[in-house]
Structure 1
Amino acid sequence: MDILFERYLEAIRTLDLARVGSPSEIPESFLLAREGRYSSYYIPFESVNSAARVVVVGISPGFVQWKNAMRETQRQMTAGATVEASLRAARLTGAFSGAIRPNFVALLDAIGVQRWLRIASCATLFDVDAPLVQVSAILRHPVFVDGKNYSGTPAMPRQAFLREEMLRYFAHEAAMLPDAVYIPMGASVSEGLDWLARQGVLREDRILHGLPHPSGANAERVAYFLGKKEKEALSGKTNGEMIDLAREKLLEQMRVLMASG
């Protein structure tokens, strides 16, 4: 049983989620650390898939994800699930659900991740090939700034509290998955992973920088990356040249990984 999970087991069991309507209402029993404007709270996300070859790295669970994970953990506990099953279910709650999933799969397939994994398509990473993927966050536990979800500002490497959160939790996961590739979801996560690589936590050549974020709000960049929209048709907010460079770099990175086995 995970040590942190053991520590918070009773607090989760007795938690009345209906009484928690904002980050400021999370019970102090879940507080992990606080420093000035920053605070972090426990979430049951310790589950690490040690066989994973792809690690999808988000920024930090937000308040809604905290509530959903706690609700799922309570449900698992009530059903008599094992600790391992409870932690696994909590971590996968809502992972890449809705429209974001097909975009993400198409982006991974476009650069050849499925060939490196020797599967037909990355779509099966959310089904029969789930053991090959770890859905993670560079800040494993929810971090709030002035009581609001941390959204990437200030940059993680520039703030001591955030550096410590990365090193205390995410570095532990990375040490267990040295041969995986790491896919940052957003520029702030990319910056954080680069900083961790400089600390020797993970290998720089295993970080796949440059994929557009697969959210619906980023539809134009995704479409151009996938070759579904011509450069001449792009709006002024989308830099086609930068996307071209990122795509070529990713394709070369995957070619090198394929060659090295």
Structure 2
Amino acid sequence: MSLEQFSHLLAASTHTFVHPLPAELLLASEGDLQTFYAPFDHVNTGARIVLCGITPGLQQASRALDEARRKLRQGASIEHAKQAAKATASFAGDMRSNLVNMLDHIGLHKLLKIDSSARLFDTHCHLVHHTSALRYPVFIKGKNYSGSPAMLCRPSLRHQVETHLAEEIRMLGSQCIYVPLGPKVSQVFHHLQGRGVLKAEQLLDGLPHPSKANGERISYFLGRKPREKLTIKTNPAVLDDGKARLLAKLATLQSEGFMN
């Protein structure tokens, strides 16, 4: 699927792109899961780092569809519309702020030789490819899918992982490093690593997912909430191990002159 197939429909649409999304954009239905098209097709093949979430949510999908429609109505090319839609919607909202804070906390910006990871969303966007384990937005019982049931356990979801995501990794090549956001996305990357799609040294896993609902884990990861004040929902040992693994890999990449 690509914007080319939906461009005429999208340009003519008067839909406000709130839920439910137009039935014409439905790609797959499996039980209580539904997958819809939204323009997240663009791949920045010059990227050095890839930030990978679970799947675009309704907010991101709505922004991407709105921006693609706006560009198409202005006479932009399909490729320009795809680029603009992806740039506008990737990790939009509170998630972007949490993500930048965590990436700066572990020092990714230093590896990339920029003053903050926030630059990946403006002046240095050429360095990054934003994507999701599930390229197209998935909803479960009409609500944003957040990783359950597991992506590799449902055929329609596994198909997205083993086709779209695997294809992107092959397009980007071995010069990229991958930052999966949260353990559920890490599982997907370890699965693809086992299939030979990428190498272990390309994987920077260990970050909590940057969603607002993950606030306590993020606060602990950033050193803002002490261990003794955590609720039983947060496992500090897992977060400590993830951070240590990230810092060790970043140090190795720095010593190897990753950006040289």
* Common topology (TM > 0.5): yes
Query: Pairwise mapping of residues 125-204 of structure 1 onto structure 2 (< 5 A)?
Result: 125-178=120-173, 179-204=175-200
Other structure's SS at 1:56 match: strand
CA distance in 1, matches of 2:43, 2:255: 27
User: Does 2:211 correspond to 1:215?
Assistant: yes
Partner AA of 2:179 in structure 1: I
Query: Pairwise mapping of residues 55-74 of structure 1 onto structure 2 (< 5 A)?
Result: 55-74=50-69
Aligned position for 2:5: 7
Partner AA of 2:75 in structure 1: G
The number of residues matched between the two structures is 256
- Structure 1 residues 125, 27: closer, same or farther in 2, change over 3 A? same
- TM-score when normalising by structure 1: 0.87
Aligned position for 1:109: 104
Aligned position for 1:32: 27
Q: 2:60 touches 2:92 (CA, 8 Å); kept in 1?
A: no
Q: CA deviation at 1:140?
A: 0.7
- Structure 1 residues 220, 67: closer, same or farther in 2, change over 3 A? closer
Post-superposition CA distance 1:187-212 (Å, at most 9, x none): 22121121121122222332222212
Aligned position for 1:45: 40
- TM-score when normalising by structure 2: 0.87
CA distance in 2, matches of 1:113, 1:171: 24
Q: Identify the match of residue 247 of structure 1 among 240, 243, 246.
A: 243
Structure 1, 180-189 or 45-54: larger mean CA deviation:
180-189
Q: 5+ residue gaps in structure 1?
A: none
Post-superposition CA distance 1:81-124 (Å, at most 9, x none): 23222111111223334443333222112222122212222121
Q: 2:51 touches 2:178 (CA, 8 Å); kept in 1?
A: yes
- Structure 1 residues 70, 102: closer, same or farther in 2, change over 3 A? closer
Q: 5+ residue gaps in structure 2?
A: none
Question: Deviating runs (4+, > 6 A) in structure 1?
Answer: none
Aligned position for 1:83: 78
- Structure 1 residues 40, 220: closer, same or farther in 2, change over 3 A? closer
Q: CA RMSD in A?
A: 2.3
- Structure 1 residues 221, 39: closer, same or farther in 2, change over 3 A? closer
Q: Identify the match of residue 225 of structure 1 among 218, 221, 224.
A: 221
Q: 2:60 touches 2:91 (CA, 8 Å); kept in 1?
A: no
Other structure's SS at 2:214 match: helix
Q: 2:100 touches 2:118 (CA, 8 Å); kept in 1?
A: yes
CA distance in 2, matches of 1:235, 1:143: 30
